[in-house]
Structure 1
């Protein structure tokens, strides 16, 4: 696989609750991370004293973050409304030449910043709020 454009990693938000996804406006950087807790089942009988983990156990989660230029578009308005309401809408994360992750996320942080001689920017952090699905790119 060849190198991929970072701008192709997209965060899309369900705008209406009906599966109408739009790319979050103004993003310059985005990141997704997957996490899995471990369940240690090591005992005194564990071979050689090595740690043993219980397969398939433990909580799994994903977090998504993005940073960009504030544009005050419909996706910005939707994110602000969702943050204050605490709703957990569907998001779709496009990973170029890999596939799409889809599921419900809660906006856990929404930050705005600006400097005297620069543009207004924002940062957003999402936490998974349920099972995620993966659709491989064909």
Structure 2
């Protein structure tokens, strides 16, 4: 994979709960992290006393974060409402030359900041709330 523009990493939210995705506008940074919890099955008979892990065990999760400025009334209002409702909504993350991740996420943090001589900014964090699907590019 060659170098890609960071702006091409897109975050979209299902605006109506029926699969109509809109880009979350104004995001200047976006991060997607995957984690898998390991299940340790090491016992007294493990070869050389090396740790052994259960194949396919544990819990998988994904975390999304983003920061930027509010620019688009539709997606901004939707994000705020989803946070205050504590709702789980489908999101899409498009990673250039890699693919698209889609599935349910909940907004777990929404922060606002502003300087007296600058624009209002926000930071948000999302956590996966179910199975995610991957479609290769």
Task: Please state how far the C-alpha of 1:71 moved relative to its aligned partner.
Answer: 2.3
Q: Which residue of 1 aligns with 2:115?
A: 115
TM-score normalized with structure 1 length: 0.97
Show the counterpart of 1:80. Answer: 80
Q: Which residue number in structure 2 is paired with residue 17 of structure 1?
A: 17
**Where does residue 132 of structure 2 map in the other structure?**
132
Alignment correspondent of 2:28 = 28
| Number of residue equivalences | 137
Q: Distance in 1 between matches of 2:110 and 2:74?
A: 16
**TM-score under structure 2 length normalisation:** 0.98
Unaligned regions of 5+ residues in structure 1, if any? none
Q: What secondary structure is seen at the aligned counterpart in 2 of 1:53?
A: coil
- Tell me the distance in 2 between the aligned counterparts of 1:51 and 1:129: 30
Which portions of structure 1, spanning 4 or more consecutive aligned residues, are displaced by more than 6 angstroms? none
What is the rounded CA distance, in whole Å, between the counterparts of 1:2 and 1:87 in structure 2? 37
1:57-72 matches, within 5 Å, as 57-71=57-71
Match of 2:41? 41
Root-mean-square deviation (CA, aligned residues, Å) is: 0.7
In the alignment, which residue of structure 2 is the partner of 1:90?
90
C-alpha separation between the residues in 1 aligned to 2:28 and 2:128?
22
